[in-house]
Structure 1
């Protein structure tokens, strides 16, 4: 904790258009202050794609038709006014076929410490950091937290979220999954606490949680069940099985695990997805910041490892996080994967799937192509990195969970190449639309692996999967503006990718898929696969070019009048409701449009395509994560991450979600607690 000031120095004065300096230091290790990881010479703009190159990289999977999305995922949040503030002003009645009827709220200033929801809606926590999960778990006591107590409690900074009803319970029982991305020790612990206890307790606050829920009936708020049989914490000593072609590779072998097949723990997990067979996927993202390395290799530098001493100090507690020591050799290669967890089997071993490649996974979302193959999309959340797709070797079998849980272990990996259709001189970095009235074009999926073998010259299959970024560099993928969450619309089969921002892109580096220099607001890419989801060709357009229409001429909302939409910046996670409307949560609005991060609904079809309506806003310094939209049930859920991030133990900036006054006795609150919240129709009962 004493080193926090030094950690902030790289970002102080450099976070305009981004998140706070504290979040930059803790969440991604000041990634934006570091040099760009991708120094490849890939073109930023492509007008012509070699037909021969495209033909050589075609996937041999037949099948045409529309997507069949077999299982609902997604997440969202709800909120009411916990401090009694009046609901924000009305800006227009919602429509577009959704079962969630609400009047959109105005944006909330980035100084407001409140959850704000539409009139007629309430909000309530489902579960908070420190809530005890097991019968023998310690009660939450912020002044006396220990590694042992935290191991039995809900973790910190929940990100990806899903709530899955348990069959046969008439909507009265469910299981909640959340991952815990990172910690803010400066807020969590008294400055007098022993540094070793702080480090080990923070380690226990990472990982994953599975929690049973119950309620009186559909449309009613949930409460979590302490001691339920499905409750589980996944910690840094939880064993994970490596699967796929790279499992057992020398690149994954360590002193503690000479087999290269078993990993302890998962860390910095961001977004995720729910599979059609009912398991959960979680993406390991900014793992690089946890490792000490004095002289990083080229491969390590491509993944963001630097010779900066990791201030969390995990390497002091466990030498496997010190890459300078024999115990730490290759340990960093064992993070950056997609993790699969079975929330309905508390005895199961979670897995890390090497076939899906290693990079800074924002998440992974699975769908079923008409051919029956499983298709998974994943963004690599870094400036100038790429969009990936995995297509399984095997086919989905309805009702055969054991078989379906093998589908992510074998298959082919692709990376996206985008081509614009406008003259180069019309894509000048200003964000002004070209003469054809839209940013659009075609694209193709460049194949990196096929049938367990590498298609990348000079790289073996394990190298492609462990060093996927370098493989994609070699094959000429298109550099994107921080591609984050990627999901498929269950109604249309179209794919939506959130590109959060990239202020490092210059006017010389723009292309039609990333048309703005100094892109601090981000955009949404809409992709239409040619044929089904296993296709190798696609068309694309930019659905939204985000920002505030009142001050920015470059904003674009699919042609909908810009003066009739709510300002939106830094799109992060996406989800869908039962009518096929897009929901977007944001990460970074306080630094761009001076509004708290929020959740929005966007109409995708019909005359109001591009209409943006704000549903809720999170408290000061907080981020809206993991939106889940259960509109048929009248429920919306979100994970509220890092509320009051810029505070300290002695000067807290947020009291979310309990809003107990500072100085409240130990164990009661008086400090911000990242939480999963639920929003629903009804009077404020919080």
Structure 2
């Protein structure tokens, strides 16, 4: 999600060290120093790593991973892919998802009703996954809809404000489940109607599972038992489980709540501010978003939600054992003995990276057999040490400082107050940790998008130990667990520092071997071991300062063995590239284009909806629409080769 740096949430006032204060000894990167130097030093375990289940070595192909010709940096209002590739747009915001008997068409003037939006694709597509049903030619696409641009969503934007507009905005959030199929000519289409088609919104009934279910901090007047939350919102990154479910992550939920005149310490730690939040006015017509009247309602968001896409009538469950945070994504690995490990970060300045290890093993079968697997286990937060080592600190009630005397009455309160618990444990403050990917080399990679606030608001400033005085470009950090994915310790280094080699500012040059980029966000490892990197430069900063030569946001491919990076795709004006998934045969890649045409203020002027973009249709009376893009090789080969 692109964010206005001036209003981005920044609430961590703990004295914990930031990643930059412990990075001085780890400035050597794989890409800058070359693979040989890495193998000879600390990262030898990384180079020799293999995922459980790999036959030998790294499990990666021995030949070249990247076989396409890079595309140039661009600023056009279109999608650009490499020579020999074709890109097709499907599933734009406002098209019907295929509910039985409900196919409301998108109205270009923004006049669709809230009821119609509930049957249409939501706005601002983000995380996505393809669940194959018949080989690689048919299956379910499940995707997140992170937030709304109410300047585009309504005919007159927010000039008037009604309960109907609030309901429409809430309906444009959440998740879409749709059936897609490949036709004989290679093109893909949304199947309508479909028995699996479903919209999950900010008003969909849900359930709580895990240690915080029913906790006093989750109880409200509408739900005195604290077991039945209503809706999910700000759904950013996603994850998939080996048992076939979808994990959607509630990110910057605090932006939707009106705060009390004097927020308490708990509310302040979660970024709640006095008065109406910037961007949304839901509380005016939906009282539960007024935290001064319903102080526990914000506690009911910030969770990872599990959805069974193959069961239309199933209830989404907020899994509280995975902790409460501004979750960006949820990446699942499996230990050698068959337990689930879920990695997640939260996209806020100076927040943390987490790991959950399930108590029980994954059972054969699907969602029903593993319905409570993510409700029992141990949540950890990461500490990165200056010598390149790291450790996972357990957020376990009664251990260390996590006691009643310090404000944690029970295990449920630790989960609701995950940030405060991590503060006390001394976790490392990161620069907006976003997507996490587990590579075929056994390493775990995490994008740190940027942080322009070092030294402000009481945060760490520039000093000799700080590797980048102003991390405008972002970087990708990686680590290798000691032993298995459930290991208590790890070794870490910077995989790459993003940047522009021609930049006059040393801290913005980076260590890119290949095509330059900035602000990495989306991250995904495919079945061959390619690491796909998607960028999210804020529209308020694009084309300016350190980002002057970066063009539009892009998607790149990295070979973890050599460090080579090639630019695979450039998006249309004002967009973010996000979400990535492939059909099992690797011949179809699905990605999402989010908020094309976003203005620097991040809200469109309803009088000029096409001012910055008119992608994808470019119709005379149209408006920009987030959409899914399907990418294939024209010769039918594997994407990326």
CA distance in 1, matches of 2:597, 2:181: 29
Name the SS for the 2:70 alignment partner: strand
Q: Secondary structure at the match of 2:229?
A: strand
Deviations 1:383-431 (A, max 9, x none): 111100000011112335423232111110100000122xxxxxxxxxx
**Which residue of 2 is the match for residue 73 of structure 1?**
none
User: Is structure 2 residue 597 aligned with structure 1 residue 650?
Assistant: no
8 Å CA contact 1:179–1:208 kept in 2: the answer is: yes
Give the C-alpha shift of residue 292 in structure 1. Answer: 0.8
Q: Is 1:36 aligned with 2:10?
A: yes
Question: Partner of 1:623 in structure 2?
Answer: 576
Q: What SS does the corresponding residue of 1:104 show, helix, strand or coil?
A: coil
Partner of residue 254 from structure 1, selected from 211, 220, 225: 220
* Aligned positions of 1:17-28 closer than 5 A: 23-24=2-3
Matching residue of 2:34: none
Match of residue 344, structure 1, among 298, 310, 317: 310
Aligned residue number for residue 167 of structure 2: 200
Q: CA deviation at 1:68?
A: 2.9
For the structure 1 residues 242 and 373, does the alpha-carbon distance in structure 2 shift closer, same or farther, using more than 3 Å as the test? same
- Matches of 1:229 and 1:47, distance apart in 2: 51
CA contact under 8 A between 1:623 and 1:643: conserved in structure 2? yes
**Equivalent residue, structure 2, for 1:478:** 428
Q: Distance in 1 between matches of 2:189 and 2:501?
A: 40
Quote the offset at 1:681 in angstroms: 2.0
Q: How many Å separate the matches in 1 of 2:325 and 2:9?
A: 17
Distance in 2, Cα, partners of 1:388 & 1:69: 24
The answer to whether the 8 Å contact 1:221/1:680 transfers is no
Name the counterpart of 2:187: 221
Cα distance in structure 2, aligned partners of 1:586 and 1:34:
18
Aligned with residue 598 of structure 1, among 539, 554, 569: 554
Secondary structure at the aligned position of 2:374 is classed as coil
Give, in whole Å, the separation in 2 of the partners of 1:481 and 1:104. 29
Structure 1 distance, partners of 2:187, 2:326, is 34
The answer as to 2:137 corresponding to 1:172 is yes
The aligned residue for residue 335 of structure 2 is 369
User: SS where residue 469 of structure 1 aligns?
Assistant: helix
Structure 1 position 117 matched with structure 2 position 81: yes
Which residue pairs with 2:592 in the alignment? Answer: 639
- 112, 124, 127: which one pairs with 1:157? 124
Structure 1 residue 34 displacement after superposition: 5.9
1:550 corresponding residue in structure 2: 502
Of 394, 415, 421, which residue of structure 2 is paired with 1:465? 415
SS of equivalent to 2:268: helix
Residues 562-588 of structure 1: CA deviation (Å, up to 9, x unaligned): 5x5111100001111222121100100
DSSP-derived class of the 1:262 partner: coil
Preserved contact between residue 526 and residue 541 of structure 1 (Cα < 8 Å): yes
Please give the TM-score of this superposition, normalised by the length of structure 2. Answer: 0.85
How many residues matched? 576
Q: TM-score, normalised by structure 1?
A: 0.79
Gap change, CA 1:267 and 1:513, over 3 Å in 2: farther
Q: How does 1:173-572 map to 2 (within 5 A)?
A: 173-191=138-156, 195-196=161-162, 197-216=164-183, 220-294=186-260, 295-310=262-277, 311-325=279-293, 328-421=294-387, 441-449=388-396, 456-457=402-403, 458=406, 459=408, 460-489=410-439, 491-506=440-455, 509=461, 515-551=467-503, 553-554=506-507, 562=512, 565-572=514-521
1:349 aligned counterpart, secondary structure: coil
In 1, Cα distance between equivalents of 2:348 and 2:202 = 25
Worse overlay, 339-348 or 140-149 = 140-149
What is the match of residue 58 of structure 2? Answer: none
**Contact 1:204 / 1:235 at 8 angstroms: preserved in 2?**
yes
Q: Structure 1, residues 199-240: CA drift from partner, whole Å, max 9, x if none?
A: 2211111111000011136x9332101210000001222111
CA distance in 2, matches of 1:453, 1:211: 45
Distance 1:447 1:231, change over 3 A: same
Q: Could you tell me which of 90, 101, 115 is aligned with 1:126?
A: 90
Measure, in 2, the Cα distance between the counterparts of 1:546 and 1:492.
21
Could you tell me how far apart the structure 2 residues matched to 1:483 and 1:656 are? 29
In structure 2, how many angstroms separate the alpha carbons of the residues matched to 1:250 and 1:324?
A: 17
In 1, the alpha carbon distance for the partners of 2:9 and 2:252 equals 15
Measured in 2, the distance between the counterparts of 1:405 and 1:514 equals 45
Matches within 5 A, 1:571-582: 571-582=520-531
Determine the C-alpha separation between the residues in 1 that align with 2:422 and 2:465.
Answer: 18
Offset of 1:31 from its aligned partner?
A: 6.2
CA contact (8 A) 1:448 1:454 kept: no
Structure 1: 5+ residue stretches without partners: 1-18, 25-29, 49-64, 71-94, 422-440, 664-669
Q: Aligned-pair distance for 1:170?
A: 3.3
* CA distance 1:681–1:209, shift in 2 (3 Å): same
- 1:157-194 per-residue CA deviation (whole Å, 9 max, x = no partner) reads 0100111211xx23331100011110001123222885
How many Å separate the matches in 1 of 2:488 and 2:575?
39
Equivalent residue of 1:573, what SS?
Answer: strand
RMSD: 2.6
Measure how far apart 1:444 and its partner are.
0.4
Structure 2 counterpart of 1:613, from 549, 566, 573: 566
Q: Is the 8 A contact 1:337 1:352 kept in 2?
A: yes
Q: Deviations over 1:333-383 (max 9, x none)?
A: 000000000111111110000001101000111111112221000001111
Instruction: Provide the rounded CA distance (Å) in 2 between the counterparts of 1:463 and 1:613.
Output: 45
Measured after TM superposition, the shift of residue 116 of structure 1 is 0.8
CA contact (8 A) 1:602 1:612 kept: yes
Secondary structure of the 1:103 match is coil
> What secondary structure does 2:385 align onto?
strand
Among candidates 64, 68, 92, match of residue 52 of structure 2: 68
CA 1:150–1:442 in structure 2 vs 1: closer, same or farther (change >3 Å)?
same
Distance 2:465 2:238 in 1: 24
CA distance in 1, matches of 2:205, 2:343: 26
Match among 88, 108, 115 for residue 148 of structure 1: 115
Q: Is the 8 A contact 1:397 1:404 kept in 2?
A: yes
Q: In the superposition, relative to structure 1, how do residues 98 and 514 fare at CA in structure 2: closer, same or farther (>3 Å)? A: farther
